[in-house]
Chains A and B, each alone.
Chain A
Amino acid sequence: MHNEPRILKYTEALREATEQAMAEDPSVFVIGLGVSYKNGADGTTAGLKELYPERVLDVPVSEDAFTGMAVGAAIHGMRPIVHHGRVEFALFAADHICTQAAKWNYMFGGNNPVPVVFRINVGRQWGNGPQHTQSLFGLFGSVLGLKVVIPSSPYMAKGLLRAAIKDNNPVVLLESRWVFPVKQEVPEEAYELPLDKAHVVQSGNDLTVVAYGDGVIAAREAIELIGDQVDVELIDLVSINPIDEETIHASLKKTGRLLTVDTTSASFSIGSEVAARALRMSDVTFRTTPGMLSCPDVPCPTSTALSEAYYPTKVDIANAILAQCGKDQITKELTFEELHLPPTHTIV
């Protein structure tokens, strides 16, 4: 029995990091719509209200005010975790996130930390459409004064959330709803992962694939589809502010080929930012023009008949990898479930 792996869902991993931080530090509190429910915040705050009734706060539908209140509490010594169930709701609090929390330390000449965590759910989810599925990675990535990470797995979710809580700056976690049911072995003890380092998921010599969040899941599946035709180095960007250029640089020097994978539209995307930085690396010799995969430059529609062509699939990614390396394309029909339902597998 004791050798059974400890498998947690992404949402459970976030919950565990939160509970551990709350147990250790009485200045940590959780605030957001529905965080006190039995299955609060998609399970990421489940049961915490019973454990810490004074530190788990359900709120009126007043994102601007409760986010500002959390920022104010952080400025005065607490460590709030603010939850926004969709990025569109967080935009009501754009001032507090982007202009107040993000600039506070700088505008007072330093020594004015704002240790607040903004947990913001983003991205694809069936049937949710143009006003509930934006990701806005580029927007958050462009706000100076924020640290911005995108956990792609349960292991990472737990370690990054803990690091975010401990950090003395405003940290935004952009959590792809699509990844919520994904499972992985997660150690019980608390651990931190760096907020500013990319993660090399697998190393390879032919091509560097840079992805993040749910794109990493699809990229892993694509690599599986291709088999050993191409020796791919897969980099999970993890942080988009800052972007870990060192890891990308080391990889590109080896491979000379780049493919970026975005799970949002192309313009002002993370892929464009990565490509722009890569092209400025003067000692990298590109063997092909860098490739970019993304959603088209349109909002995400609601009808499944339209949304099925919206997100890059594992087949799209596989073909982009093959194209970069001059190999033949593959064809594979995806099922309705593969196209529209989130993955539930266990990452090994």
Chain B
Amino acid sequence: MSTRLDAFRRMTLLRIAEEETANLYLRDKIMSFVHFYVGQEAVAVGVSDSLMSNDRAMGNHRSHGHYLAKGGDLRRMLCELLGKAEGSSHGKGGSMHMIDRSAGFTGSTPILGSIVAIAAGSAFEQKHNATGDVTVAYVGDGGSEEGGVYETMNLAALFKLPLLIVVENNLYSVNSKLLDRRSKEYSVEGVVRNLGLAYAKADGNNYDDVRSKATALLEGVRAGKPAVLECLAYRHMAHSAPIFDDAQGYREEDVLERRLAEDCLKKMKARLLEEGSSEEVFSDIENEIRTHVLEEIAYAVAAPYPSPETLYTDVYA
């Protein structure tokens, strides 16, 4: 059972890996589409900490955090972001296609909502082979509006699949608010429960809440009752650029002060302080992680690009 300080360490890794990647992108004008997870770390780490190591997770366009929290290799991720041969997809995929099968993170796709059905296929395999494992599908509030997601919920309930759908509700699909996309009467809980799945809502800015709700739901999931965990979390950065976008003026609830007040890392620190930790412990961890991340970034920057012939490889297995 990992401690809260371990979780802080992992959340810090997610945060710093992306902060430093953002710096690198701006400095070296890296050209690869990128969606940052900064602010939502408690979701991926809280969910991952409630999984067993053989469980699987799959993600979307914003999956650096999902990947790292599941134990995905940092170096191979950074190499992939920079289009290098050592990247987890050898440069073919880039930021929107995270994968580290050895860590149980078996893929992500930027085609919204599609991962939910694919993750149901993983859960189907797990059930078929009676492995006792589960699959997590991460989907955004926007992605969850695809028809295929509703269809998959029905299938998962019908086939009693060990599937946990984590809906990360960060209030936006690009810059479209929830109320631009749903009537006031729309109830995620109502939809989910009426399709026959279990449901819980967690404060996605709070690690402990995510972890305890995920752990509770997973018991049922493992027994064949698929579930949706809706996590409300704030996306701190722009939809798809290494920048902060408050100047655009579309944010209502999650304005800068609110985001800083609700920041999952800040909340985690407060909790750890209550438990007797100290600012010094935090800064030691942060320094250690930043040093590590910068070393790995330096490695990735220096790493070779894929050779031109590899353009023609990998179309078929």
Contacts and interface: CB of A to CB of B under 8 A. Distances in A.
Interface string A203-227: 0000000000000000000000000
Which of A126, A304, A310 counts the most chain B CB atoms within 10 A? A304
Contacts of A55: none
Nearest to B34: A127
Which of A92, A130, A297, A302 counts the most chain B CB atoms within 10 A? A302
Give the interface SS of chain A, mostly helix, strand, loop or mixed.
loop
Nearest to A295: B311
A34 B93 contact: no
Contacts of B147: 62, 64-65, 92
A85 to B, nearest CB: 10
Contacts of A303: 83-84, 87, 91-92, 94, 305-306
A99 to B, nearest CB: 16
A302 B93 contact: yes
A131 B109 contact: yes
A335 to B, nearest CB: 14
A65 B176 CA distance: 18
A224 to B, nearest CB: 26
Nearest to A301: B92
B97 A129 contact: yes
Nearest to A305: B305
Interface of B: 31-34, 83-84, 87, 91-97, 109-113, 142-143, 145-148, 173-176, 180-182, 305-306, 308, 310-312, 315
Contacts of A292: none
B32 A34 contact: no
B311 A310 contact: yes
A304 B83 contact: yes
A239 to B, nearest CB: 29
B94 A127 contact: yes
B92 A60 contact: no
Contacts of B83: 302-306
A276 interface: no
B81 to A, nearest CB: 10
A78 to B, nearest CB: 21
Contact of B181 (A60, A92, A132, A310): A60
Interface in A299-330: 299, 301-306, 309-310
B142 A61 contact: yes
Those 6 A-B pairs whose CB atoms lie nearest each other, nearest first: A303-B83, A303-B91, A302-B94, A305-B305, A127-B32, A60-B181
A181 to B, nearest CB: 15
Given A302-B92, A303-B94, A305-B83, 14 more contacts: A33-B174, A37-B175, A62-B145, A62-B146, A89-B111, A89-B112, A296-B311, A296-B312, A299-B315, A302-B32, A302-B93, A305-B91, A305-B305, A306-B306
12 contacts: A34-B175, A59-B181, A61-B113, A62-B147, A65-B147, A127-B31, A127-B32, A127-B95, A129-B96, A299-B92, A303-B87, A305-B308
Nearest to B113: A61
A130 to B, nearest CB: 7
A338 to B, nearest CB: 14
Contact of A126 (B31, B148, B173, B315): B31
Contacts of B176: 33-34, 58
A72 to B, nearest CB: 16
A75 B87 CA distance: 49
Given A33-B173, A301-B91, A306-B92, A58 B180 contact: yes
A121 to B, nearest CB: 14
Which of A58, A89, A297 counts the most chain B CB atoms within 10 A? A58
B92 A130 contact: yes
Contacts of A37: 174-175
A86 B146 CA distance: 16
Nearest to A297: B315
B252 to A, nearest CB: 15
B110 A131 contact: yes
A132 B95 CA distance: 12
A150 to B, nearest CB: 23
A310 B143 CA distance: 30
Interface in A28-63: 33-34, 36-37, 58-63
A64 B149 CA distance: 12
A128 interface: yes
A337 B83 CA distance: 17
Which of A33, A130, A301, A304 counts the most chain B CB atoms within 10 A? A301
Given A34-B176, A64-B147, A306 B113 contact: no
Contacts of B143: 61
A132 B96 CA distance: 10
A199 interface: no
A103 interface: no
Contacts of B97: 129-131, 302
A130 B92 CA distance: 8
A61 B31 contact: no
A253 interface: no
A298 interface: yes
A196 interface: no
Contacts of B92: 129-130, 299, 301-303, 306
Contacts of B95: 127, 302
Contacts of B111: 88-89, 131
B109 A92 contact: no
Nearest to A57: B180
Which of A126, A129, A297, A340 counts the most chain B CB atoms within 10 A? A129
A310 B312 CA distance: 10
B146 A61 contact: yes
Nearest to B91: A303
A92 B94 CA distance: 23
A103 B305 CA distance: 48
A302 B30 CA distance: 12
